Amino acid sequence: MGLLIDGQWHDQWYDTEKHGGEFVRESAKLRDWVTADGAPGPDGQPGRPAEAGRYHLYVSLACPWAHRTLIMRRLKGLEGLIGVSHTSPLMLDQGWTYHQDEGSSGDPLNGVDYHRELYTLTDPHYTGRVTVPALWDRQDGRIVNNESADLVRIFNTAFDGLTGNRLDLYPADLRETIDAVNADVYDHVNNGVYKAGFATEQAVYEKHVEALFAALDRLETRLAEWRYLAGEWLTEADIRLFTTLVRFDAVYHGHFKCNLRRIEDYPNLSNYLRELYQWPGVAETVNLDHIQRHYYMSHKTINPNGIVPAGPLLRLDRPHDRKRLPGRGIREKG
Ligand SMILES: N[C@@H](CCC(=O)N[C@@H](CS)C(=O)NCC(=O)O)C(=O)O
């Protein structure tokens, strides 16, 4: 894996030494927005208009951040409007690739072999990490946005006029709650597993594992009372937690050494995970083969021989008990 510096590829692992053994995630850099009419985004970001067939989503099926956008695309009925290409699960010295012999869909749109080419097509002098997901604008021939949190919000709204889909995963009156849960979940769970797994100092690893399990314990308590993270309505907060939970026992527990408990050991979290997995359309976005092969085969510093474990057997289609709590599904816009 590596990064681009002034448009040139450098094969480099994360530099934890410079941060005392800590993995520090770089912020996404391409943050333009898509809106119904091309007006600016919610914080004044430059906007582009929503049009059928204009945008294309580049993802890895292994990546929890990209997975958020795939679920939103499905729930919001965007499949006919926004195409998808997925990388090979392996992210090695050349970064993400579109090698079909390794399990990628290939890239019929731009015909690139390497994901980094989409970044240098966007900016020949691009400097930064080359990440998925990335939303591509076919008209301007560039990446519009490479931040999954933004793409979740864009998909929630921008294309409603074209699809007629009124589902609202970020309802105005729940935003304060959603933002607060998201902040905790991002820091300690979504990114927390990486901070533990990529730590190169014992004390740093221990600090992040403890913070991760303290957060999971808090979530377990919350989900004893509430069907979903923001209460009776399923929101983006649930999608954002789900993509980490569904990888947890299969990958983070072993590969990232997040092994104080499994999700399976938490009654509420495990039932909640199964409810979300069984939500119409969601299971089809989960590819545990890509997930396990990606982590165990790509991170040679952690697992040098690239052996992929045989288990665990997750059986996410087992019944769940969440119907005991009041739930109203996904809100419709008024
Ligand atoms: N902030 C980004 C993070 C995306 C991200 O880190 N994706 C990982 C895959 S799970 C990646 O592409 N990493 C490549 C790298 O860091 O070089 C988002 O949420 O969209």
Model pLDDT for residues 291-325, shown as the tens digit of each residue: 999 999 999 999 999 999 999 999 999 999 999 99
What contacts 102, CB < 8 A, 6 or more positions away?
Answer: 88, 89, 90
What tens digit of pLDDT does each residue of 267-298 get?
999 999 999 999 999 999 999 999 999 999 99
Average pLDDT of span 105-121: 98
Q: What are the two backbone dihedrals, phi and then psi, of residue 332, each rounded to the nearest 5 degrees?
A: -100, 145
The CATH number of 172-280 is which of 3.40.50.2000, 3.40.50.300, 2.40.30.30, 1.20.1050.10? 1.20.1050.10
Q: What is the ipTM of this complex?
A: 0.98
SS3 12: coil
Average pLDDT of span 176-182: 98
- How many angstroms is it from 244 CA to the middle of ligand 1? 13
Residue 129 among known ligand-binding residues: yes
Q: What are the two backbone dihedrals, phi and then psi, of residue 306, each rounded to the nearest 5 degrees?
A: 65, 25
**Residue 25 banded pLDDT, cuts 50, 70, 90:** confident
Q: Does ligand 1 have an atom closer than 6 angstroms to the CB of 131?
A: yes
pLDDT over 90 (residue 23): no
pLDDT number for residue 12: 84
Alpha helices (runs of H) in the chain, residue ranges in sequence order: 64-75, 116-122, 148-157, 160-163, 175-185, 192-197, 202-225, 236-247, 267-277, 288-298
Does domain 2-165 fall under CATH 2.60.120.890? My reply is no
- How many angstroms is it from 180 CA to the middle of ligand 1? 22
pLDDT over 90 (residue 15): no
**Residue 16 banded pLDDT, cuts 50, 70, 90:** confident
DSSP 309: P
**Strand pairing partners for 168?**
331
Spans of all domains in the chain:
2-165, 172-280
Q: Does ligand 1 have an atom closer than 6 angstroms to the CB of 63?
A: yes
Q: In terms of C-beta density within 10 A (0-12 exposed, 13-18 middle, 19 or more buried), how is residue 25 classed?
A: middle
Contact between residue 135 and residue 144 where contact means Cβ atoms under 8 Å apart? yes
Residue 233 among known ligand-binding residues: no
Q: Count CA atoms within 13 Å of residue 182 on its CB side.
A: 18
